[in-house]
Amino acid sequence: MNIVEVSHLFKRFGATQAVKDVSFEVSPGEIFGLLGPNGAGKTTTIRMILDIFKPDSGNVRLFEGKMEAGVKGRIGYLPEERGLYKDQPLESTLVYLATLKGLDEKTARSRLKGWLERMDLADCGKKKISELSKGMQQKAQVIATLIHEPELVIIDEPFTALDPVNTRLVKQVLEEQCQKGVAIMMSTHQMNQVEALCSRIVLIDHGSTVLYGKVNDIK
């Protein structure tokens, strides 16, 4: 079973053809790379997968069906832009975001304790998010993406603002999720990250598919 099936997606904004005839599949237990330069159409493709944008034509299937309310709880999404509440404490913000994904508060707090330790943020729970470094905020967003134990994780430039030590930490976390059978779709313009993590990729440029397949075959 494929977790994601994207078939012949097209999307235009005015005179700009942002995505034209993009197709690919993502399977359980793999880290799949959505690769391309800035402005290639990667984020637009992600937003169509998540039903934020409606495609002009083409189809998206998630878990062998359409996007529905129940499906959204099975997905974790880490956008490139940070979406945390700057004036709120880290712990209460992450608990709140977890409850939006269907967790009860007790379960959210229990899981969060382990996640804060795992991401070296155990001493930051009571701090306002605005008091945290950009790297700490990025790790907090990783927690918000994973705390409800999604089956599909979509991450857009996940290593933004991370130093080499924390980049390695987040890579380890993603690989652990992959080993659990989670499907991970990683959007990035950094080829070295793709080579380090992904087994398969689709390369998009100017909205169109340039390459699609196994990384080793493409190399």
Q: What is the pLDDT of residues 8-47, one digit of tens each?
A: 999 999 999 999 999 999 999 999 999 988 888 999 999 9
Helices (H), the chain: 42-49, 69-72, 90-100, 105-118, 134-146, 164-179, 191-197, 215-218
How sure is the predictor about 161, in pLDDT bands with cuts at 50, 70 and 90?
confident
Mean pLDDT of 167-181: 94
**pLDDT greater than 90 at residue 138:** yes
- Per DSSP bridges, beta strands 75-78 and 208-214 are unpaired
For residue 128, what are the β-bridge partners?
A: 89
Q: Scanning the structure block, which residue is given the tokens 């709140």?
A: 96
Mean pLDDT of 93-109: 93
Mean pLDDT of 52-64: 91
SS3 of residue 61 by DSSP: strand
How sure is the predictor about 76, in pLDDT bands with cuts at 50, 70 and 90?
very high
Q: Which residue has the higher pLDDT, 145 or 67?
A: 145
Tokens of 203: 């390369």
Q: What is the pLDDT of residue 84?
A: 84
pTM assigned to the model: 0.90
